[in-house]
Structure 1
Amino acid sequence: MSKESKESKEPYADETSAPGYVEAQDSDGTSVNTLNALIAEDHKHEIKLRTMSWQKAAWLLAGDQVCLAIMAQSWSLSVLGWVPGIITMVLSGILFWITSITMHKFIMKHPHIKDICDFGYYAFGKSRIAYEFAGFMLLANNILLIGFHILTGAKVLNTLSDHSLCTVVFSVIAMLMGIVMSLPRTLHHVSFMSMFSAACMGIAILLFLIFAGIEDAPLYGYNGNYPTDGPVRTYAFPLPGTTWVACMNAVLNITFLWVPQILFPTFISEMERPQDFPKSLAVLAIISAILFIIPPAIGFRYLGQYATAPAFGSLGVTAYKKGSFAFVIVPTLIIGVIYANVTAKFIYFRIMGKSRHAHSNTFTGWGVWIAIMAGIWVIAFIFAEVIPSMGDFLSLLGAAFDSFFGFIFFAVAYWQLYKGDLFSGAGRSIMTLIHVFVMLCGLFLLGPGLYAAVEAIISDYSSSVTPAFSCANASI
């Protein structure tokens, strides 16, 4: 079979067409020679992608994960109560680590994987349908998330300026800033921004905790201003009258924070030593275990049933609210940049293929890159303006997309890695049962979880909704 006919038959991350392809693997299943050939090939290009150290990858992971969603977890605890809430957080963290390690092992066995679409292609037996389906979900998930970050940027600017301009204008400002910051084509460069992103979000969280602790009482809660809903209190289990839909959306809010793996294959593909990814993952796991549980728990302790999402909105002193929320503008934009970079690369390499423009500083290459990036941010801006409640749509994302990219894909990948050897020994048997549970979690999110998210959106539409491209004040 000719090279051309082979490429037309398998155009997605085709291992056998790569320079230096061999089947040799080391003791942990890594295709070492193939991986080295891919890195050597990349380093011949003018624009080199595989350049990140594990330390820079750790910063990139932290920049993506240390985000505003942390400040929505106190609200999840206010819905679920201490016991179900903390159990959900801890269980989500454990499953995050296990599925991420499974993902890394699978990618090391198939080192040509460049993104989650290639991952789906191999995990489902070189299925083109799986590739295109994952591609659609990658675009939908990431563009909606970028839209959410545009909306959040507008909220920050509204809050800081006391709504000095139309909210649409603030959204346009956030969009333009995002386009400019997204111009670097390598994640190596984006990782530098991530350092500042994580640091600013850390400052915002710390200031919030200080302010929540020193103020007499929160001001605002979803059931009315303090003390409309009585004195601040915490509780072990959901309060009487809490609906199943509310509980499910609180669970989705937690799992959404713990499921960033849609980006991980792209991150790994730009590491100089992809074998070192578990080191970066360990750094992220430690940071996440601290920030995803302790600040939300402290927030719930001081805000109780008045907790909002994000929790900044419950603070009673305007200066406290502005002083802590102001730092969120940095991670809001930079996390949007990370998602835009991964999204643009998927589109860019589908268009440019293996042409010299794909990896060179040519006018055509940069022109296409800038056009794609601008298009992504403009589409995201439109979504941000026309969707009445981005919070509910994040629950929809968590159910529809995270069910696959956080659970189902990795349960299938585990089966591909160890089929025929699933119960050889106690350790392997335990891991197999855990991945069966992972699959069940994914199916649960895809079924009852998706139903709850849709019910919340229907409820929003049944009440008064913000009109599209509204100038209404979006301050928290």
Structure 2
Amino acid sequence: MTNEITQVYPAPVQDKDLANVEGAYGGYDEYPPSSKDVANIPAESYEYDPFSAQREENAEDYVDFRSMGWVQAGLVATAENIALGALSYPSIFLRLGMVGGLIANIGLGVLAYITAWIMIDFKMKHMGVMHFADAGGLMFGKWGRRILGAGMVAKSTGLGGSHVLAGKQALNTLSSNAICSVWFALIIMIVSVMMSTNREFGKLAILSWVSVSCILTACFITIVATGVQSPSVLVKNGVPIEWHAFPTNPNLMDVIGALTNVVFAYGGNMGVFSWCSEMRNPNDFKKSFLITQAGGIIVYCIVGGTIYAFGGQYVQSPAFTMTTKPVRITAYAFALVCILISGIVGLNVGAKFLYVNSFRNSRLLTSKGLRARLAWVGIVAAMWTAAFVLAELIPFFNQLLTIVSSLFSVWFSYGLCGVIWFYNKHPYFAKDGEVRSISGVWNQLFMFSAILSIVLSVAITPLGLYSAAEGIREGYSAGTFKHPFSCS
């Protein structure tokens, strides 16, 4: 197999040709096309890659987005998957027990890899599917595209907001609350925008390596510290540290909250289409994501299991806070790097949707010019500003993330991928003259995984929303929510 996919693409739209454009570009009559026109992309447009379509015509002013190899793509995906959430895993094990935590983590991790494989096969069949919203448009029409596009932006913005909050907490710890924490949040937002000026995911590969190295270092420091420190650091009222194979007093909110946290940890699947679209050979992402997912499962099991064993019922989230102050400061210093970089990767998935959606039929899509670069910076700046405001304005931010996970993360990582498999492989959806078969162990395995993914998503969505609503109600009843833009 060659390392480059060869296709014949229609010529990109030129300013002088706009009045006569027909066929594969859907007859747009504006430059750049309006959001209304973009939302009504004709089905045949999903069969060609808009990046590669402009290679020859826009040669002197062309940014080669499709430049990533499988190692680079794997690093970017790993930076998104293995981030600060690894240090919330001990609390997941606390709620599910040691056995339950291992089963949930390994099971959902393996299932997320299978659903990513399904997405890659779909991408190879429809090279013009640049992101999840395109997949929705191909399967469900313009409203499917709009709803999934809105979900991508909502999830990316929520993810950015969580990194603003985590970065603020890290700077508060490192500086001993030197200034109002709102200023720290603003600093995180500004630095994130400045680090997001590159449009290509491939340019984030080196930063992704740094991010993964730093979070693994922070995890190692925390594991060692909780293992060797005196139990008196955690023990209260003389009750010794205990861990359990199964939860002792499980309740629905705790279990569902833990499962939505695991789903959120594997929410990087939302970026699979986006990352594949910037690879020389998108099919190689199966290798990339195998390493990413295997690494994530191993890290989450080790971090969650060992720290839960060392901290028992005194586990906190993030696990940094279980250690003494000098250790906590050291771990946060490494984690801060990961907070910044992984937040950029996650938010850029939603930003790239907006960028491609706005300029899909315009030469600005692959232009090196100032207008294209300013458009990109404007999009990421707007999204990071929204993330900052959201994080500071809404007092129940953790519950908001649960809502986002229940509505979008579980469907992007699991449920919609099951739908994609049926659309792409099942004989019921075969087009005229197309022969499909689902016989054989391999096809049966994927069909079972697709059904399981859909059932899982249908179950988690209402239960997750219920859990979030109960958390909001209890928070207001107890008066634990802070007021907007609080300095504490």
TM-score (norm 1): 0.89
The sequence identity of aligned pairs, in percent, is: 25
Are the structure 2 counterparts of residues 320 and 43 from structure 1 closer, same or farther at C-alpha, using a change threshold of 3 Å?
farther
Are the structure 2 counterparts of residues 4 and 47 from structure 1 closer, same or farther at C-alpha, using a change threshold of 3 Å?
closer
Asked if the contact 1:178–1:377 (Cα under 8 Å) also holds between the matched residues in 2, the reply is yes
**What CA deviation, in whole Å up to 9, does each residue of 1:418-464 have, x standing for no partner?**
22156423442333123211110010111222211222222223222
Are the structure 2 counterparts of residues 36 and 340 from structure 1 closer, same or farther at C-alpha, using a change threshold of 3 Å?
closer
Asked if the contact 1:182–1:340 (Cα under 8 Å) also holds between the matched residues in 2, the reply is no
Question: Who is 1:155 aligned against?
Answer: 169
Q: Does 1:238 align with 2:221?
A: no
Across the two proteins, how many residue pairs are aligned to each other? Answer: 450
Asked if the contact 2:68–2:278 (Cα under 8 Å) also holds between the matched residues in 1, the reply is yes
Secondary structure (helix, strand or coil) at the match of 1:227 reads coil
Are the structure 2 counterparts of residues 75 and 362 from structure 1 closer, same or farther at C-alpha, using a change threshold of 3 Å?
same
Are the structure 2 counterparts of residues 228 and 137 from structure 1 closer, same or farther at C-alpha, using a change threshold of 3 Å?
farther
Counterpart code for 1:48: D
CA distance in 2, matches of 1:157, 1:268: 35
Are the structure 2 counterparts of residues 456 and 356 from structure 1 closer, same or farther at C-alpha, using a change threshold of 3 Å?
same
Are the structure 2 counterparts of residues 91 and 110 from structure 1 closer, same or farther at C-alpha, using a change threshold of 3 Å?
same
**Superposed displacement of residue 160, structure 1:** 0.8
Q: Does 1:201 align with 2:215?
A: yes
**What CA deviation, in whole Å up to 9, does each residue of 1:313-369 have, x standing for no partner?**
122x11111111221111111112112322222222333343333322323222222
Which residue, out of 303, 310, 324, partners 1:295?
A: 303
**Superposed displacement of residue 39, structure 1:** 8.6
Which residue, out of 106, 109, 113, partners 1:97?
A: 113
**Superposed displacement of residue 373, structure 1:** 1.8
Question: Who is 1:6 aligned against?
Answer: 26
Counterpart code for 1:358: L
Are the structure 2 counterparts of residues 230 and 299 from structure 1 closer, same or farther at C-alpha, using a change threshold of 3 Å?
same
CA distance in 1, matches of 2:54, 2:214: 34
Question: Who is 2:315 aligned against?
Answer: 307
**Superposed displacement of residue 219, structure 1:** 3.7
Are the structure 2 counterparts of residues 351 and 285 from structure 1 closer, same or farther at C-alpha, using a change threshold of 3 Å?
closer
Q: Does 1:282 align with 2:298?
A: no
Question: Who is 1:460 aligned against?
Answer: 475
Secondary structure (helix, strand or coil) at the match of 1:184 reads coil
Alignment of 1:101-250 (within 5 A): 101-122=117-138, 124-125=139-140, 127-217=141-231, 219=233, 226-228=235-237, 230-240=239-249, 242-250=250-258
**Superposed displacement of residue 243, structure 1:** 2.3
Asked if the contact 1:12–1:118 (Cα under 8 Å) also holds between the matched residues in 2, the reply is no
Are the structure 2 counterparts of residues 379 and 11 from structure 1 closer, same or farther at C-alpha, using a change threshold of 3 Å?
closer
Asked if the contact 2:104–2:262 (Cα under 8 Å) also holds between the matched residues in 1, the reply is yes
CA distance in 2, matches of 1:244, 1:42: 58
Counterpart code for 2:263: T
Q: Which moved more, 1:292-301 or 1:211-220?
A: 211-220
CA distance in 2, matches of 1:456, 1:441: 22
CA distance in 2, matches of 1:131, 1:218: 54
Question: Who is 1:30 aligned against?
Answer: none
CA distance in 2, matches of 1:335, 1:136: 21
Are the structure 2 counterparts of residues 130 and 36 from structure 1 closer, same or farther at C-alpha, using a change threshold of 3 Å?
closer
CA distance in 2, matches of 1:449, 1:289: 23
Which residue, out of 345, 349, 364, partners 1:342?
A: 349
Are the structure 2 counterparts of residues 41 and 199 from structure 1 closer, same or farther at C-alpha, using a change threshold of 3 Å?
farther
Asked if the contact 1:147–1:381 (Cα under 8 Å) also holds between the matched residues in 2, the reply is yes
**Superposed displacement of residue 17, structure 1:** 4.8
Question: Who is 2:430 aligned against?
Answer: none
Question: Who is 1:413 aligned against?
Answer: 420
Are the structure 2 counterparts of residues 5 and 159 from structure 1 closer, same or farther at C-alpha, using a change threshold of 3 Å?
closer
Asked if the contact 1:422–1:429 (Cα under 8 Å) also holds between the matched residues in 2, the reply is no
Question: Who is 2:104 aligned against?
Answer: 88
Are the structure 2 counterparts of residues 94 and 398 from structure 1 closer, same or farther at C-alpha, using a change threshold of 3 Å?
same
Asked if the contact 2:24–2:44 (Cα under 8 Å) also holds between the matched residues in 1, the reply is no
Q: Which moved more, 1:379-388 or 1:37-46?
A: 37-46
Question: Who is 1:29 aligned against?
Answer: none
Question: Who is 1:25 aligned against?
Answer: none
**What CA deviation, in whole Å up to 9, does each residue of 1:365-402 have, x standing for no partner?**
22222222211111110011012243332222221112
Asked if the contact 2:418–2:451 (Cα under 8 Å) also holds between the matched residues in 1, the reply is yes
Q: Which moved more, 1:210-219 or 1:389-398?
A: 389-398
Counterpart code for 1:280: S
Unaligned runs of 5+ in 1: 22-33, 221-225
Counterpart code for 2:103: I
Asked if the contact 1:194–1:334 (Cα under 8 Å) also holds between the matched residues in 2, the reply is yes
Question: Who is 1:16 aligned against?
Answer: 44
Are the structure 2 counterparts of residues 227 and 347 from structure 1 closer, same or farther at C-alpha, using a change threshold of 3 Å?
same
CA distance in 2, matches of 1:453, 1:121: 30
Asked if the contact 1:13–1:113 (Cα under 8 Å) also holds between the matched residues in 2, the reply is no
Counterpart code for 2:307: G
CA distance in 2, matches of 1:169, 1:6: 47
CA distance in 2, matches of 1:231, 1:186: 51
CA distance in 2, matches of 1:375, 1:411: 33
Q: Which runs of 4+ in 1 moved over 4 A?
A: 7-15, 34-43
Question: Who is 1:76 aligned against?
Answer: 92
CA distance in 2, matches of 1:358, 1:128: 21
Unaligned runs of 5+ in 2: 1-20, 29-36, 428-435
CA distance in 2, matches of 1:52, 1:39: 18
Q: Does 1:438 align with 2:453?
A: yes
Are the structure 2 counterparts of residues 18 and 247 from structure 1 closer, same or farther at C-alpha, using a change threshold of 3 Å?
closer
Q: Does 1:357 align with 2:364?
A: yes
CA distance in 2, matches of 1:89, 1:289: 7
**What CA deviation, in whole Å up to 9, does each residue of 1:279-327 have, x standing for no partner?**
1011112211210111110000101111111111122x11111111221
Are the structure 2 counterparts of residues 354 and 463 from structure 1 closer, same or farther at C-alpha, using a change threshold of 3 Å?
same
Question: Who is 1:27 aligned against?
Answer: none
TM-score (norm 2): 0.87
Which residue, out of 375, 379, 382, partners 2:382?
A: 375
Q: Which moved more, 1:45-54 or 1:386-395?
A: 386-395
Asked if the contact 2:256–2:460 (Cα under 8 Å) also holds between the matched residues in 1, the reply is no
